[in-house]
Amino acid sequence: MKILFITENEISPNQGGVGRITHVLTQEIMARGDVSCSLAYVHKEPLLPLTHFDTKVQLAVGREVEMLLDLLNQQAFDMVISNLGSKAYIRLLLPAMYAATRNTSTRIIACYHVMPGYELVVTPLQTNRQYVGILEFTRSFLANLRLTKRIKKRLLRTKYRQLYQNADKVVVLSSKYIAPFADLAGVRPDSKLVAIPNMLSFPESIDEKLLLAKAKEVLIVSRLDESSKRLSRALQIWQLIHASGEFTEWTLRIVGDGPDLHYYQSLVEQWHLPNVVFEGVQKEVIPFYSKAAIFMMTSAHEGFGITLTEAQQMGVVPIAFKSYASLTDIIMDGKNGYVITDGDIQAYAYQLAHLMRHTDLRVSMAQHGLKDCQRFASKPITDKWFSLFQELMNHA
């Protein structure tokens, strides 16, 4: 079987999100033997170690459609898996390759790696006008209006319908996303929409014997982008945690970079927050997970939240706001982590402090997490992909 992956960026195992998931999926597929995986991408990754593919083709800007169609004509691919995310590339490439493959045995799978409707999620207005700036403040104010959201939802229909109409199957990350995707596309939920979750990022999990050796550290692994990740809320929670003076030995460690790094650093300084360490981008994140005891997520939305399963693999107990539907596919509240009502800062701080106080509870929840995250191990998830391939080939 020959599979072509199409992405906007070259793939590296050290990328987050789509990059890391594409890496682990391709390696698992090729490990099963007699499968060739190729990559067509637009933007080259010059800095990170790159994922192995049997062949790679960079699509020149301005000639993407021409080069992609040439590639499809030259090689008889059984499957084309699109990991395109931007509206511009979905509109440019998907219809062209779908039309070009209709009289062939090639089948198109469009993957949607984010929460359907994430575009409608608006982070509440920042109170720091100096940080926001008048243009961003005005844009945020308008985005919060109900009429604006209704108009935006109508405008989004083109994007979701193009994904639906120009693929043989559309893969979303949770069964809870099928109905919202169909609603945004203006179609009825049907067999074209399939749910396959992300598989575990790391090849191995931490040894359970090491759970008692965890440091008094709370970890965040995230892009530093307030509009989607809302780390200002994590810092508010940390402010509440340390107001009691009870947790002076604990550290909040933040791994990642992004446009709002300086904003978060200014909040730490302004609020006099103790024991907050910004680590920047790291080539290897496993050492940070291995050391930490608790993981924080405060995102406004996620597609799946692979950092949560990464945390569970490494025995780190996750806490997250219930801001997206697939969260409860991963965290079973009170068993392997905590799910907090979205926006309830006080409840989040209470559960975090409770975990920080009780080592036995942390170890017990970490043990459950180690077992529960195996639902997303490479074998069962890869099996789902091969079942999908077989179904498509049977109806080619």
Per-residue pLDDT tens listing for the chain (396 residues): 999 999 999 999 888 788 889 999 999 999 988 999 999 999 998 888 899 999 999 999 999 999 999 999 999 999 999 999 888 999 999 999 999 999 999 999 999 999 999 988 866 544 443 444 555 555 555 555 555 667 777 888 999 999 999 999 999 999 999 999 999 999 999 999 999 999 999 999 999 999 999 999 999 999 999 989 999 999 999 999 999 899 999 999 999 999 999 999 999 999 999 999 999 999 889 999 999 999 999 999 999 999 999 999 999 999 999 999 999 999 999 999 999 999 999 999 999 999 999 999 999 999 999 999 999 999 999 999 999 999 999 987
Same domain, 221 and 364: yes
Report the CATH number that the domain containing residue 242 is assigned in CATH. Answer: 3.40.50.2000
State whether 184 and 264 are in the same domain: no
Residues 37 and 164 occupy one common structural domain = yes
Does one domain contain both 173 and 75?
Answer: yes
CA distances from 59 to 50, 238, 278, 358 (A): 17, 45, 36, 53
The boundaries of the domain holding residue 252 are 208-376
328 shares its domain with 369? yes
Considering the domain architecture, whether residues 289 and 386 belong to the same structural domain is answered as: no
> Torsion angle of alpha carbons 219, 224, 225, 231, nearest 10°?
40
155 and 62 in one domain?
Answer: yes
| Phi then psi dihedrals of residue 170, to 5 deg | -115, 125
Specify the DSSP element, H or E, that contains 246. Answer: none
What 3-state DSSP class applies to 374? Answer: helix
**Looking at residue 326, what DSSP letter applies?**
T
Q: Is 367 inside any structural domain? A: yes
Please check whether residue 387 lies inside any domain of the structure. Answer: yes
Closest CA to 277 of 242, 253, 255: 253
84/216 same-domain check: no
User: Would you say residue 23 lies in a domain?
Assistant: yes
Distances (CA, A) of 133 to 136, 138, 259, 261: 6, 9, 14, 16
In a domain, 360, yes or no: yes
Residue 295 counted as domain residue: yes
Strands, E, within the chain: which ranges? 2-9, 36-43, 55-58, 79-82, 107-111, 169-172, 193-195, 217-221, 251-255, 276-280, 294-297, 317-321, 338-340
237 with 360, same domain: the answer is yes
For residue 3, what are the β-bridge partners? 37, 79
- 288 lies in some domain: yes
Does residue 203 fall inside a structural domain?
no
CA angle 272, 277, 280 (to 5 degrees): 130
H or E element that contains 50: none
101/157 Cα distance (integer angstroms) = 24
Residues in the chain: 396
Asked if residue 222 and residue 193 are part of one domain, the reply reads no
| pLDDT the model gives residue 121 | 83
Could you tell me if 180 and 215 lie in one domain? no
The verdict on 277 and 382 lying in the same domain is no
Residue 248, domain member (yes or no):
yes
85-118 burial, b at 16+ Cβ within 10 Å, e below that, comes to bebebbbebbebbbebbeeeebbbbbbbbbbbbe
Residues 117 and 325: their CA atoms lie apart, in Å, by 11
How many structural domains is the chain composed of?
2
- Token pair listed for 119: 């575009």
pLDDT of residue 344: 97
List, in sequence order, every residue forming a beta bridge with 278; answer none if it has no partner: 254
Predicted model pTM: 0.90
Rounded CA-CA distance 317/337 in Å is 5
- Token couple for 396: 């080619």
